[in-house]
Structures are given as structure tokens and as C-alpha cells.
Structure 1
Amino acid sequence: MDPLQFLVPLDWLSVVGPILPFAILTMAIANLATRHVAHKRHVQQGQSGDSVESYGPHVFTNVGLLLLSALFAIDAPTGGTVLSMLVVTMLLADLFELESRNVEARNDMTIEAPKSAIVSSALVLLYAAYYALFFLVADVWSGGVVA
């Protein structure tokens, strides 16, 4: 008997737990796509004004990744905690990169790509892909013979 089972009913999480890695992988791919579109919008906004605004779909994928990684940390504590730390790092990088784009727009500088946010987002994608698609390489990884 789990001591927390009466405080927080998490039976539903055992049902959706196996599909969480795939949902996280899908959200991580969507995050990279919205990051690309957001950068294009930031370049246009920087050329026409003094500030850039955050892109709504990108904010949605960021918050979605944060919530999914928190759920995943409940379902798979070790993998979920690692993923949560990567997602929080990505969110902090996004925050600082958005402020950097605002500084570039105010000072009429060229709008650069959000390099640190791209790298952290790629790390989230790689870890999510590793966790979701591990079954593809499980036999090789465990030393089994592939026929």
C-alpha cells in the first residue's frame, strides 16, 4: 500500500503513464516547430517595431512540456526528474532569449537566433526520443542478438 494513495488519487496516471513518453516526444517536436515560427515572427516584429512579443503556440508547447514532464516525474521518478530539469532549463533559456530579442529590437540590431534555447530544446527532444523510442534499440542495448 502506497502511503499517498488516499491523499492524491493517481489511479488515472497508471492508465496514461505508458503513453506519456510519446506525448512528450510529440510536444517536443511541436516545440521545435513553434520555435522556428516564433523566430520568424520575432525577426518581422524587430524590423517593424521596438519590441517582440512571445508567440502563443510556442508558449502553449512550453507549458505543455512542463506539465507533461511533471506528470512523467510522478509516473517514472528518475526519468521524469531528468526531463523536468531539462524542460525548466529550456524555459529559462526561452525567457532570457526573449529578453535578448527585445534588447536587439530596441537598439535596431539584427535579431539573432535563440541559440541557447535551441540547444536546450534539442536536448529535451533527444531525451524524450530516447525514452519514448528505447524499445527500438532495447535488444541491442541489452546485449541481445539481433537476427
Structure 2
Amino acid sequence: MLYDNVETEWGGALVLMDEVGVSGIKLYEDKDIPMPLFDRWRRSPSDLREAVGQLRAYFAGELRNFDLPLSLKGTDFQLKVWNALKAIPYGTTVSYSQLAAAIDKPKACRAVGGANGRNPVPVAIPCHRVIGADGSLGGYSGGLGIKRRLLAIEGVYFD
């Protein structure tokens, strides 16, 4: 298992990769770099060059769509939600209820929110583009400060 870091002026991302592809992206603020918890993880900038490069380009506002091999492990429902997240266009937002409707589960807003929060590769799968039905920012596993920053990169601003 491999990892590397992407640093930004506000923090950055720890990128994890297994034999299939990118398996995790952990966003952080203020240079508080989370480290992999297992001894089997090894830092490998060369193996993660493409993933790190795409994240840097996204953070710089130069990349709209990711093209990375992903290694996603989740339930069938989670995978369905994560695939639906990929269809949300850059610079737009949808509500949890709209996302639930998009996967033909209009009454599953809470379950969709739970799957959204368990997305292992935020940014590459844009879970930050999901907001509350009332137009509020909603929640975000990486913290609302990071969610605001990611949306601002895409030209979407919240107070």
C-alpha cells in the first residue's frame, strides 16, 4: 500500500493507493498531515505522481474532471451513490434529495447522506457538491472549511 501528500496553502491531502488504484484521499487543514495508520503503507511519490498531479491541478483551478484508477470498497448502495456523485458537473451543487432521486431512491435521503459521508476519495468523487435542500452548506467529513474551499475553487461560494 502506497501514499503521498499534496500540500496547499490551506492544508492538503493524503493520497492512498493499493494495487488497484487510488483507495483513499484524506483532506486536512493547517498542515496537520494525517499519516497512514498501518506499517504496511509506504510513501511513494513516483507511483502516485498522476494522482498527486491531478489533485494539484484541481486545487489550482486547472482541472475539472479526474481520470484516475479508483479502488472503491463499499456496499452496492454506496457504490451507486458514489457513481451518481461523479455525474454532478463541476461548479454546480445538488441536494441530498436530488441525489437520492438520481439513483431512483427518492425516500433514501438520509442513507444517501450516509453514503456520501463515507466516500473514500473526496474531490476525485465530488461529494462536496452536495448541499442541504434549503441551500445550506450541509455537512462534510473533511470539515465545512474544506468544503467551502473546494466549492470556491469551482466558483460556488457560501458565507
| Structure-2-length-normalised TM-score | 0.26
Higher relative contact order (CA 8 A, sep 6+): 1
Q: Considering fraction of residues, name the structure with more helix.
A: 1
Structure exhibiting the larger radius of gyration computed from Cα positions? 1
| Structure-1-length-normalised TM-score | 0.28
